[in-house]
Structure 1
Amino acid sequence: MSIISIGYSRRSIREFIEALVEYDVKYLIDVRTKPFSKYHPEFNKDLLEATLKNAGIKYVFMGDSVGGLPSDSQCYTEGKVDYRKTADSNVFKHGLERLIKANDLDVNVSIMCAEMKPEQCHRSKLIGEELTKKGININHLDEGNVIRTQKEIIERITKGQYSMFDDEFTSVKKYR
């Protein structure tokens, strides 16, 4: 099995559920730090959980451990989320272990966040990179509804130009 990541920003709830059903997803793991959307209230935690239940999909919230905006101030550098520091935190490590256990289930699992393009989200730059280091395959449903490998998404980010200095990813925006 592999984990499939998905973003919802330009998908309707119907399109979102259809994509999950198409890939026979049984567990949707919400990796948003704040599981709500003021622009798309159908993706707010409680409503989303109920909608997923009607589709036969179990909702699990994990944004408190593997979310893109950690509460620990030590995970930030110059106001940006530093994904290396975040990955080294005990909270994230515990959450990653839960994702690995979910991957070991004999069902398809998906992680979700808001960003449609996986290369703009911590799903690829943080979670995907750390799962890959642990030997776990993660694929991403991109903005064109095409499944892309973690490697393809990282190549989109780096444009195939890997740094000889082993640069680490950070969030695009400043938060602190």
Structure 2
Amino acid sequence: MVIYTIGFTRKSAEEFFGLLKKNDVKHLIDIRLNNSSQLAGFTKGSDLKYFLRELLGIGYIHDTKFSPTKEIIDSYKKKSISWSEYEEKFIQLLDERDIRKHVIENLYDVLDGCCLLCSEETAEKCHRRLVAEYIQRAFPDKEIRIVHI
């Protein structure tokens, strides 16, 4: 089983959609808290859903259960908390939301070949990496490989 992650910052539409196509992504799971910002460009929620379906036949899901709260985001952006504190707070939030159960009940059938979307250019300090790793740990019986594209 493979879970991909991607960020759209500093990617052209051609590069973004090309990476999804090249990796044979089946469903894109948008895990941004706000997917309708003007800064999102071609990844604005309703437009992205259309582009994915029409250009590549990829399904689109916006799921804020995988999003950090505004408070966690703001605390990190304002440097009130470090990245390691952000990680701790976010993992605790995923635990509280019972993400394993959420995946089983709502996303298990689309997990293989899905791609988690956020805005950060790289996965290193992005919650999409934390979500992918959380899912990987939540299903130790599955061989889940994470690929950041």
Normalised by the shorter chain, which TM-score bucket?
0.7 to 0.9
Write the distance in 2 (CA, Å) between the matches of 1:120 and 1:99.
Answer: 24
- Report the TM-score when normalising by structure 2: 0.75
Consecutive unaligned residues of structure 1, counting only runs of 5 or more, are 143-176
Contact preservation (8 Å) 1:9, 1:115: yes
Q: 1:141 aligns with which of 110, 130, 148?
A: 148
Measured after TM superposition, the shift of residue 91 of structure 1 is: 5.6
Q: 1:122 aligns with which of 123, 127, 133?
A: 127
How do residues 24-103 of structure 1 correspond to structure 2 at under 5 angstroms?
A: 24-55=24-55, 56-62=57-63, 64-69=64-69, 81=86, 82-90=89-97, 92-97=99-104, 98-103=106-111
**Pairs aligned (count):** 134
Higher Cα Rg: structure 1 or 2? 1
Contact preservation (8 Å) 2:6, 2:115: yes
For residues 89-147 of structure 1, the C-alpha deviation after alignment (integer angstroms, 9 at most, x for no partner) is 1364444333444225xxx211111012101111112x1221121235242325xxxxx
Higher fraction of helix = 2
The one of the two structures with greater contact order (alpha-carbon pairs below 8 A, sep at least 6) is 2
Identity of aligned residues (%): 24
- Report the TM-score when normalising by structure 1: 0.65
Contact preservation (8 Å) 2:6, 2:123: yes
Consecutive unaligned residues of structure 2, counting only runs of 5 or more, are none
Write the distance in 2 (CA, Å) between the matches of 1:88 and 1:70.
Answer: 17
CA RMSD, 1 decimal: 2.7
